[in-house]
Structure 1
């Protein structure tokens, strides 16, 4: 989950760098090249938006899986194990049959 959040931050930083670069590029250009720069920024924005959506889907799938895993593990922890129950019953029976040492015939 931390890797996905880190990747999200990296994509946000990359978007900021590209916007700054596009602004710097457009500051000293003619109107014809401004349109080209605007098209490039629009294309890059669309690509980063798609990447962001994919990342959000991956995060949502991971959270869903983690929630399901937590739920299932909680269910397993609440159900007593059949083997351990029978073993505990046998130990209890053995203790019930136990004769204290002071009552043994000598």
Structure 2
């Protein structure tokens, strides 16, 4: 599935294309085909580096554009920091919270 065919704002498609993303990976395309951009709830469990962040970005963009809020949860502090830096440059208000829990 080509990025240019997605039902997302033109600015988002252009941003992806500028970053060299012109086509979705098969698991990403399957999510779109199953209603990702139509507001259908989905649990996405796919391997590392298979495009989960792009899927989440598309949904979060739609949610924020309609006045909503998003919560992006990751299991590691380093990954939280990486995503914080990545999302900070996207023009949205963002926060980060990390911690350790003793058992």
Larger radius of gyration: 1
The TM-score normalised by the length of structure 1 is 0.22
Larger RCO: 1 or 2 (CA < 8 Å, sep 6+):
1
